[in-house]
Structure 1
């Protein structure tokens, strides 16, 4: 009889090779590439680990060092940083902006890519010095935002490029 329930995923565990809190699970695993050990850090609800790294051998030089609170906290901090950097990189790829000087003042031109699986596209928009959106058009996701393309779009009275 199985007693697994959806809440089991959030059960706190503190074992030598498995350590879990409300958000993260650290699992010490055999390193397939050599005789050593690795640790995988997985965020609750995710299928793939956010971080996999080498793990220290124990005193017997055969088995892994047991997980403990200090090691787990360090691993959580490292894995969280990896996720944060990944999110920043993704945001930078999907959202770009630059400033364009016009006779009417400085505009901020933004390109926001919408990574739809079936039909990706981007929104090209312009905001005035007060942050008010003054134009927006849909463009291909492959549109390249540059000072030249932004200036041309502004000079063409925000018509679709």
Structure 2
């Protein structure tokens, strides 16, 4: 790809003003820029969310009727691109959340517990918090564990059986 669009490269106008140009649109917190695709003879479009340095989405863009220049952006295309880019970000956030937050339900002879593992991906000191909750969502215990701790029903049950003492490595 050619140089990716940079929010600082946008024309020197009101940063909140909408832009509706054939290769550059900005509205509703998003910027779409049609760029030359150096990998082939075609064009690409980059979607950047306001305040972000990197595009949320880069995809192929349609050639115009002359088969040389890109098709101009328009309202419908921009709205579709915004919807698609927002969905990409939403799925990314869901995936990250699923990687960092896990939960299992464990039933014992006396009660049912929800055990959660919340990973804190700190660059210098990553860790995880292992927590236990009763049926009323009252926290019963919480310990700090390694971020690599594997939460399963079996490890949660063992933790409960050991009266919530910090699990060994």
TM over 0.5: yes
Residue 38 (structure 1) aligns with: 44
1:68 aligns with 2:74: yes
Residue 132 (structure 1) aligns with: 138
1:51 aligns with 2:65: no
4+ residue segments displaced more than 3 Å: none
Q: Deviation per CA, 1:41-62, whole angstroms, max 9, x where unpaired?
A: 0000100000000000000000
Tell me, in whole angstroms, the C-alpha distance in 2 between the residues paired with 1:96 and 1:4. Answer: 46
Residue 123 (structure 2) aligns with: 117
Residue 27 (structure 1) aligns with: 33
1:154 aligns with 2:160: yes
Give the CA deviation at 1:22.
3.5
Match of 1:83 among 68, 89, 99: 89
Tell me, in whole angstroms, the C-alpha distance in 1 between the residues paired with 2:163 and 2:109. Answer: 13
Alpha-carbon RMSD: 1.3
Residue 108 (structure 2) aligns with: 102
Tell me, in whole angstroms, the C-alpha distance in 1 between the residues paired with 2:104 and 2:17. Answer: 47
Asked if 2 retains the 8 angstrom alpha-carbon contact of 1:111 and 1:122, the reply is yes
Paired positions, count: 157
Q: Deviation per CA, 1:19-48, whole angstroms, max 9, x where unpaired?
A: 001400000000111000000000001000
Give the CA deviation at 1:11.
2.3
Asked if 2 retains the 8 angstrom alpha-carbon contact of 1:11 and 1:22, the reply is no
Tell me, in whole angstroms, the C-alpha distance in 2 between the residues paired with 1:97 and 1:37. Answer: 44
Structure 2: runs of 5 or more not aligned: 1-10
Give the CA deviation at 1:148.
1.2
Give the CA deviation at 1:4.
4.3
